[in-house]
Amino acid sequence: MSIKTQNISFAYHKKAILKEISFALQPGTLGVIMGPNGSGKSTLLKIINRLIEPQSGTIFIAGNDYRKITRRELARHCGYMPQKSAAVHCTVFEAVLLGHQALNPERCEAEKGLQQVDKILKLIHLNHLSDRFTNTLSGGELQRVVIARALVREPKILLLDEPTNHLDLINQLEVMSLLKEITHKLNLTTLVVTHDLNSALRFADSFILLKDGTLHAAGPKNIITSECIEEVFNLKSVIAEIAGFPVVVPIQQD
């Protein structure tokens, strides 16, 4: 399902947070929202998931105004992962099953839910941990469980707020690689808030750059230039290719 935002604006206590944000994202695309702290990244993600309502503008999901879609139906289409997820003390299988049951409490869905959990655990390479308790998992494994809980509902859209935050380098790479893999394999529309430019350049297909609540640029990775990075992040840098991947190298400022 495609996502299109049209002139989204939002203010909190009369302070403008977002100002006329417009961009589009197509299925099979891993997009990232980037920008300095306080630029409105998480707020934009919450508006798309309809956790908060914009003051003006609208969002189109698969070409339909999302205000005409019920919140329950939108929840079926969108898998949302906030910055912090509530801890659940149970097995990995049970934790993922809870994600299915949240939207499918009917008994007739029980068998389908068990099959769906098996399918998702295999898809994201967690089936060997299905009987492990969540409090025994590493940070990277636990993050995969949270992603699995979002995927088990069979969404068409994934919205993730800093999914690699607090992970070590290897787990950051593994989670972003997984997101790219499932986005392309399942033809999802995936939107990730992240601060990691190098990880985004390596894995993302599309970029939405915010600064001071406005849209600075949106498009494929070729919009990320040294000039763009300086304008958005106030950081002088060069972009080099190392081992076939673009890498942002900051230049120390006196």
Q: What is the CATH number of the domain that holds 175?
A: 3.40.50.300
Q: Is the pLDDT assigned to residue 84 strictly greater than 80?
A: no
| Residue 69 CB contacts under 8 Å (≥ 6 apart), including other chains | 61, 77
Q: Which residues of 52-72 are buried (b: 16+ CB within 10 A; e: fewer)?
A: eebeebebebeeeebeebeee
Q: How many domains does the chain have?
A: 1
Pairing of strands 189-193, 15-25: unpaired
Domain encompassing residue 83 = 3-250
| Residue 213 CB contacts under 8 Å (≥ 6 apart), including other chains | 16, 17, 18, 19, 39, 40
| Span 33-52, average pLDDT | 91
User: What's the rounded Cα separation, in Å, for the pair 194 and 206?
Assistant: 13
Task: State the average pLDDT for the chain.
Answer: 88
Task: Look at residue 240 in the predicted model and tell me its pLDDT.
Answer: 92
Q: Is the pTM of this model over 0.85?
A: yes
Render pLDDT for 90-122 as a digit per residue (tens, 0 to 9). Answer: 898 988 888 776 666 555 456 677 888 898 999
Q: Quick check: helix, strand or coil at residue 2?
A: coil
Where is average pLDDT lowest: 102-106, 166-170, 197-201, 238-242? 102-106
| Span 143-165, average pLDDT | 89
What share of the chain in percent tops pLDDT 90? 50
| Span 64-71, average pLDDT | 84
User: What's the rounded Cα separation, in Å, for the pair 17 and 213?
Assistant: 5
Residue tagged 């120390």 (tokens): 252
Q: Is the pLDDT assigned to residue 160 strictly greater than 60?
A: yes
Torsion angle in degrees (nearest 10) through CA of 199, 204, 208, 209 = 20
Q: In angstroms, how far is CA 116 from the centroid of its own chain?
A: 21
Q: Is the pLDDT assigned to residue 226 strictly greater than 90?
A: yes
Q: Is the pLDDT assigned to residue 18 strictly greater than 90?
A: yes
